[in-house]
Structure 1
Amino acid sequence: MNHTYRRWIRYCEDHPETPTIPGTPPKAQDLCGRCLGLRKGISDSLARLKKIEDDYRSRDTNWEVAALGTPGTWNPTRCALCYLFMTIHHNKLAEHGANTHYALRAFRSYKATGLAVLPTPSLDTLDEDCSSSGFISRAVPKADSSVGHHSVGVVGDYVDFAFVKSWIERGGMTNIRDWDGLSLKDNPNFKLIDCSTRRIVKPPEGCPFATLSYVWGRSDESVPDGDRLPKQLPLVIEDALTVAKKVGIPYLWVDRYCISQTDLVEKATQIKKMDPIYSSASFTIFAAAGDGADHGLPGVSRKRKAGRQPCAKVGKHLLTWTMPDGPALVLKSRWNTRAWTYQEMVFSGSRLIFTDLQVYMEQRWNVFRAEAWGEYPFSNLGRIDTHSSLSSAFNEIYKLSDYSRRQLSFSSDVIQAMQGLFNAMAHAKVLYQYMGALLPAVIAQEASPSDDGALQYSFLWYHVKTSTRRPGFPSWSWAGWVGEVAYLELRGVQHTYHPAFTAESMDASVEVADGTLVPWKEFRRLIVTDHLPPPTKLSNFLQLDVYTVSLRFEWLDHPPRNSWSYAPDVPYRAGFFVRCHETYGIYSPFQLSGPVDPSRRTELSSSAWEGLVVGRLAYQRSVGDQQRIYDNPFTDLCVVVIERRPGGAGATGAATAERVGFVNLAHRVWDEECERIRRQSPEKEHPPFLRPLDLKKTRTRIRLG
């Protein structure tokens, strides 16, 4: 996953407030006595910033322009500059409290240049603060802004379509296009809306068209009358038709009207083609504002409700608020919470994004335009890594983390809402999926024994937060749970300091609806060639012949400091831990999927838990006082924790169980004996071993559902 995008997800989670413009700003030329005294310092700093930005050799820098005191000393009702300070404080920095002192700082970073209003003395989050709450910069009528520009556009009540159309034309988006994978011969039921006639038509091959990504809202929206759109349309669709016409695009694709909602077979066919539909479009219109379809696209048929962008005249400079960057607004939007919209973002090569404050456009090849200012962390999100490698597979698997955070109106749509993305990954021979479980193609395609490792890789996920079971799907798949999941980060996939994974021996069969067992090697071939039986012929069960271990967990309100065993990318918190080594107090956190009744903590701590060993993680770590990296790696066992269920043993007599969590067990450690041997060894020699822990494994047959 794009690391900038991941950073933004976390940051916007911590700061979910939606930016607004408070009250009515004073006239731009109105300044209080103190701000009149700031004119020279601001003008000198802007001149210095301009020199720095024009010098490509210059590095990021910042300096204090003036101390601003506390917000209580500002006069936003009568001073335009104080109003700018208060707008920024209002939108993000209010969390620091009324008694916090602020400073006006000039800054130049890799993404922007301007004047920041920051609490003193901390500068730890300058980039995040400026992106999330905006900053102050020179205003120009039309900035054609992109990252790093020294000026910012002034946004009006309505979208300037001449400005937006220039973006579209510059990107060549109005030209006849090559419909990649969207031939009318292969997809005869593909339809578009003719924006002029408002009819739903079979379009000419290769015509330019736009797609719309929005939150449906009410389920009682009007349906088409034959090949005509209903007279009353949700405002977002009316506005999208207007946008397409204004920028010279003749056709629009809207799932609600261009996919049959009554012919379920045809609907399923079109859903599988989401990749070529969105990727062949000239651009996608994203309605990243409001809670539903009736909100419309701000600034198209209705004024933007967020208020006018404030300005202040300081000497010869007209200063304005940049507003938060577009991606920050998108990540906080209702649109960004919906599961169906995720693959629409991924597949769209060009994106015209409407937020409450501004419109911005980005293209997959890092072209970015905005009415005011912004950065572009989504730009690489749509690229599917087509290299047949484990690294490529896991680059795509990490998309699942973002998708699993999103909401579905119908929980049963969890796989269908990603079906287009799954099809694209399979077509690229990167990943395959079964019941949502993700199988790296580089492993699944090999003519290898039944314990090929692809199935074991598919188990390497855990829940970031407590989750709940989703009915109708197996517990061994992430799709069987409602809640955010993440995959382990492995060496060769992300960074060399991450562990390497080796799959444990496992004999697997897939149980179909009539109870017949299909060996995994044979079933894997059906997955890869897309010849799976229909869902009614399948079941949720796998029959596994696998190594198991017996575990005991203890509840710890304060996780031990010496809990060094590998933990997934989540903070340590109160919960169940397994003590891997009595003498040395080595703990591993149990990533429990479901909620735990506090009254059962003692009972669960005294019970034996069963775990399926799916593989080993090997680490190269620095140990001892000389901090060498030794050849004999530390290893953990990757264990899927299960709970047996009564009845339903199946024809083989295997016990029925469900997955309830995930844990990594320390298997080889560095202890005092290892340290003694190291000290007695010649300086240039490595110690001969790490001490293995005594973890007894038993071969067991499990019917996992």
Structure 2
Amino acid sequence: MPKIENTAVLGLVKAEKSNSQKPQLLSHEILKQWGYICPIALPTRSVHPRVIGRSIEPDAIDYELIKSWVRFCTNCHVKTCRILDDSCTPPCRLIDCSTRKVVEAPKNCQYVAMSYVWGIKEKDARNYLVCTETGLLPKHLPTVIEDAMTVVRSLDLQYLWVDRYCIIQNDDTDVLKHMGIMDLIYNHAHMTIIAAAGSDPSFGLPGVGSRSRIPQPCANVKGHVLVSTLPDPQDMVKRSKWMERAWVYQEALFSIRRLIFTEHQVYFECNNMHCHESIQTPLEAFHTNDRRRYRTCIRHGMFRGGFGKRCWPLTSHIQKYSEKALTYQSDILRGMLGIFRAFEKFSYPIHHILGVPIEFDMDLTYWKQQGAIYKQYRAYPWKLSASFARGLCWSLQSPAPRRDGFPSWSWTGWAGSLREWLTFEKLSAQENPGIEFRVALEDGSFATLHELYGFTGSKVAVSKTSQHLDVEAWTIQILIVSSSYPEISQGSTESEKLTQQEGMREFYAKAELNDGTSVYSPLILSKQPGGGNDFVTRLHDSTWDCIVLSYRKQASRSPVVMVIEDQEDGAERIGLVDFWTCWSDINESRSSIVLDDRKLLKTRRKIRLS
């Protein structure tokens, strides 16, 4: 159905007697794009609260409405919409919107943070450098920042934090310092303005400055004013350019209150409620009796309570983050530093090595027994290495190119999206895989994981880690086979045929058992099988070493292994094999089997991963 400008459509969906959800799904999709039709007033006074529409102007923002949303949040959500760690204040500079100067943040001041699409960085540094003598901003600011300053003043606030001007862009030390405390900057902000409209800073905030919003369809029917509630702002934000950016993931996650500008309306979401400018929401009725949060019957907000309300596993955050886009691939780790820092400050801290998390035993972390965790890792030293090995059990949705400057054993070393991570829920924390690690440091020395994080009681001075990882572990050898080629399109050139074959082929690991029989399991490649088909040829012609990382909980010692390829400066990871899915053959009549790694031919080896 083509979308008609300035037209609201009332759709009727025929009810079906069956239990089919097609009508509901169809109507839901239509309403996400078009919105509901609501009166802006009721003909008679109602005892019960009702949800009705609100008429909004294309060129004006109702700032009193926004103030009422913020006021309700600050008064009622005292325990849930609050700063996670008020013991430390982020050392940051702020824009004083009344003087247009960048100043040192006054103690305990309220400020608004800004999240937007930076766009292509300008070559002329003078356009984003502040005057060092006076602190004055450049004369010509990007429209989105100029509009944000207008919003701050209209909300009776004074200070605004914007990375472009509050971080000294030509000072690498200042940039790195701020990258590591993004969680503090956004979490301490009174509110975050999110520019979800447009694809660069020149678009501005619709309805604030010179750019109008898309007009709201309305009609007068016998004296009753009907308005459209406009397209679902959550859907608009999810499809925005802003949502694609990797940097905004932690910015939105740590923000307590988010004021989001779309091309149609303003959308507000704190950790416990969400409001549309086009809908008059009865906040008291939507909340629980104690007014601390929305009732469970109300749909969730986009950010599900942010970081403070529900703490998702670190691996879940990494997986979602990996789906985002980066202008500079070298920023892959920097864009997660705030999240890593927050997890390291937990009462049961989760550390990482170049992005690979060391998740502790869930039975211990569930009870938040930090003392018990340390006691376990001192009593059973292998458990710390086993925890890190489980962090290495990541896999990509599809083979991807290598990312320069990062190791192959870390997900940061590959420019691709991650699959669902194999975590403690699926991998055994009780089986000892017999793996040990020594981490290479930038000064050329090596440290064990216990030395790195001080579990031995004598924490060593640790420099930054480098890309090399020394591993001593059990290894197996596999052959790699592939399914037969599917039918190739007629008339394709030789290069096109090769591309089609590579894209359609499925690869399997073939492992030999002690009794001479073989088993097959899917190979999840990290490395792309392109490059003139040389890698594909090597896949079939070579025998491959695999490091045993962990075992599945659901099966008797069913191993998860990392497939590696020897290189000049160390072995490179090329994929992962999870023998939980295992067959005795790969024909159409394949039959599943349960593999115990004690049936495999294993060798103890020392390997340097790069």
Deviates more, 1:468-477 or 1:196-205: 196-205
Letter in 2 for 1:510: V
Deviation sequence 1:611-636 (CA, Å, 0-9, x none) = 111011032xxxxxxxxxxxxx4553
Q: CA deviation at 1:516?
A: 3.3
Task: State the SS of the aligned residue for 2:145.
Answer: helix
Aligned match of 1:636: 558
Residue in 1 that maps onto 2:196: 288
What is aligned with 2:343?
425
> What letter matches 1:156 in structure 2?
E
Q: In structure 2, what is the Cα distance between the partners aligned to 1:477 and 1:140?
A: 54
Of residues 218, 223, 230, the one that matches 1:311 is 218
Residues in 2 aligned to 1:314 and 1:377: alpha-carbon distance in whole angstroms: 33
Equivalent AA in structure 2 for residue 552 of structure 1: L
- CA contact 1:462–1:486 (8 Å) conserved in 2: yes
Would you say the 8 A contact 2:9–2:34 is kept in 1?
A: no
Residue 659 (structure 1) aligned with residue 564 (structure 2): no
CA distance in 2, matches of 1:339, 1:204: 30
Q: Are 2:266 and 1:359 aligned?
A: yes
Higher deviation after alignment, 408-417 or 311-320: 311-320
Do the aligned residues in 1 keep the contact of 2:477 with 2:511 (CA within 8 Å)? no
Backbone CA RMSD of aligned residues: 3.9
Residue 155 (structure 1) shift: 3.5
Aligned to 1:695: 600
Within-5 A mapping of 1:433-472: 433-441=352-360, 445=374, 446-447=377-378, 448-450=380-382, 452=384, 453-472=386-405
Q: Residue 156 in 1 paired to residue 57 in 2? A: yes
Give 5+ residue unaligned stretches, structure 2: 43-48, 280-297, 365-372, 487-502, 586-592
Q: CA deviation at 1:702?
A: 0.7
Match of 1:475 among 377, 402, 408: 408
Q: Deviations over 1:270-315 (max 9, x none)?
A: 322222221111110001111111111111113435x322235567
Structure number with the bigger relative contact order (C-alpha 8 A, sep ≥ 6) is: 2
Match among 516, 523, 527 for residue 590 of structure 1: 523
State which of 332, 337, 348 in structure 1 corresponds to 2:255.
Answer: 348
Alignment of 1:115-130 (within 5 A): 122-123=22-23, 125-126=25-26, 129-130=29-30
Aligned mates of 2:459, 2:28 — CA distance in 1: 45
Residues 49-64 of structure 1 mapped to structure 2, 5 A cutoff: none
Change beyond 3 A, Cα 1:526–1:616: closer
Instruction: Check the 8 A contact 1:451/1:505 in 2, yes or no.
Output: no
Q: How far is 1:346 from its partner?
A: 0.9
Q: Distance in 2 between matches of 1:20 and 1:196?
A: 45
Residue identity opposite 1:576 in structure 2: F
> Is contact 1:450-1:520 (8 Å) kept?
no
1:614 paired with 2:549, answer yes
Corresponding residue number in structure 2 for 1:405 = 323
The corresponding residue for 1:136 is 36
State whether residues 634 and 668 of structure 1, in contact with CA within 8 Å, keep that contact through their aligned partners in structure 2.
Answer: no
How far apart are residue 602 of structure 1 and its match? 5.3
CA contact (8 A) 1:174 1:208 kept: no
Distance 1:668 1:268, change over 3 A: closer
Distance 1:704 1:584, change over 3 A: closer
Change (3 A) 1:172 1:21: farther
The answer to whether the aligner puts 1:225 opposite 2:131 as a matched pair is yes
Residue 473 of structure 1, CA deviation: 0.9
1:471-514: CA deviation from partner (whole Å, max 9, x where unpaired): 1111111111111113435464xxxxx56454511121122345
Distance 1:589 1:141, change over 3 A: farther
AA paired with 1:241?
M
Query: 1-side partners of 2:254 and 2:459: how far apart?
Result: 21
Residue 229 of structure 1 deviates from its aligned partner by: 1.4
SS of equivalent to 1:223 = coil
Question: Does the 8 A contact of 1:84 with 1:311 survive in 2?
Answer: no
> What are the superposed Cα offsets for residues 511-563 of structure 1, whole Å, 9 maximum, x if unpaired?
2345433233212439999976444xx4211111111111122222689xxxx
Contact 2:253 2:303 survives alignment (8 Å): no
SS in 1 for 2:552: strand
Q: Is 1:84 aligned to 2:2, yes or no?
A: no
* Alpha-carbon distance in 2 for matches of 1:468, 1:527: 39
Separation in structure 2 between the aligned mates of residue 557 and residue 315 of structure 1, nearest angstrom: 69
Q: Which residue of 2 aligns with 1:370?
A: 276
Higher alpha-carbon deviation: 397-406 or 126-135: 126-135
Q: What residue in structure 2 maps to residue 4 of structure 1?
A: none
Matches within 5 A, 1:16-31: 22-25=4-7
Looking at structure 2, the residues matched to 381 and 670 of structure 1 have their Cα atoms a distance apart, in angstroms, of 47
SS at match of 1:640: strand
Question: In structure 2, how many angstroms separate the alpha carbons of the residues matched to 1:315 and 1:636?
Answer: 71
Indicate if the aligned counterparts of 1:637 and 1:667 stay in contact, CA closer than 8 A: no
Structure 1 residue 461: deviation in Å?
Answer: 0.8
Alpha-carbon contact 1:260-1:267 (below 8 Å) kept: yes
Uncovered stretches (5+) of structure 1, i.e. residues with no partner: 1-18, 26-82, 86-102, 108-119, 143-147, 387-391, 493-497, 560-571, 620-632, 649-655, 672-688
Q: Which residue of 2 aligns with 1:95?
A: none
- Tell me the distance in 1 between the aligned counterparts of 2:14 and 2:156: 41
Separation (CA, whole Å) in 2 of partners of 1:293 and 1:213: 11
Conserved? CA contact 2:391–2:423, under 8 Å: no
Between stretches 693-702 and 482-491, larger displacement belongs to 482-491
Conservation of the 8 A alpha-carbon contact between 1:21 and 1:308:
no
Distance 1:354 1:503 in 2: 52
Partner of 2:483: 556
Partner Cα separation in structure 2 for residue 335 and residue 546 of structure 1:
43
SS in 1 for 2:436: strand
Q: Distance in 1 between matches of 2:41 and 2:338?
A: 41
**In the alignment, structure 1 residue 525 sits paired with structure 2 residue 457:** no
Matched AA of 1:272: G
Distance 1:657 1:234 in 2: 47
Q: Deviations over 1:203-252 (max 9, x none)?
A: 43222211101111232233211311111111111111111111122211
Residues 340-377 of structure 1, C-alpha deviations (whole Å, 9 max, x = no match): 11110111011101111221111112x11111369544
Identical-residue share of aligned pairs (%): 29
Of the three residues 310, 323, 332, the one matched with 2:230 is 323
Number of matched pairs: 529
Selected match of 2:99 from 192, 197, 216 = 197
> Which letter does structure 2 place at the counterpart of 1:663?
V
**With structure 1 as the length reference, what TM-score do the two structures score?**
0.67
Distance in 2 of aligned mates of 1:500 and 1:404: 25
Contact 1:450 1:521 survives alignment (8 Å): no
Instruction: Tell me, in whole angstroms, the C-alpha distance in 2 between the residues paired with 1:182 and 1:253.
Output: 18
Q: How far is the alpha carbon of 1:396 from its aligned partner?
A: 2.3
Structure 2 distance, partners of 1:276, 1:690, is 48
Point out the structure with the larger strand share. Answer: 1
Counterpart for residue 59 of structure 1: none
The answer to whether the 8 Å contact 1:636/1:667 transfers is no
For the residue of structure 1 that corresponds to 2:176, the secondary structure is: helix
TM normalised by structure 2 equals 0.76
**Per-residue Cα deviation, 1:428-469 (whole angstroms, up to 9, x for no partner):** 144211111111255885323145212112102110122111
| Alignment match, 1:382 | 306
Deviations 1:152-175 (A, max 9, x none): 334320322222222122223899
Contact residue 335 and residue 341 of structure 1 kept, 8 A: yes
Identify if the C-alpha distance between structure 1 residues 318 and 539 changes in structure 2 by more than 3 Å, giving closer, same or farther.
Answer: same
Residues in 1 aligned to 2:155 and 2:230: alpha-carbon distance in whole angstroms: 25
* Partner Cα separation in structure 2 for residue 478 and residue 167 of structure 1: 40
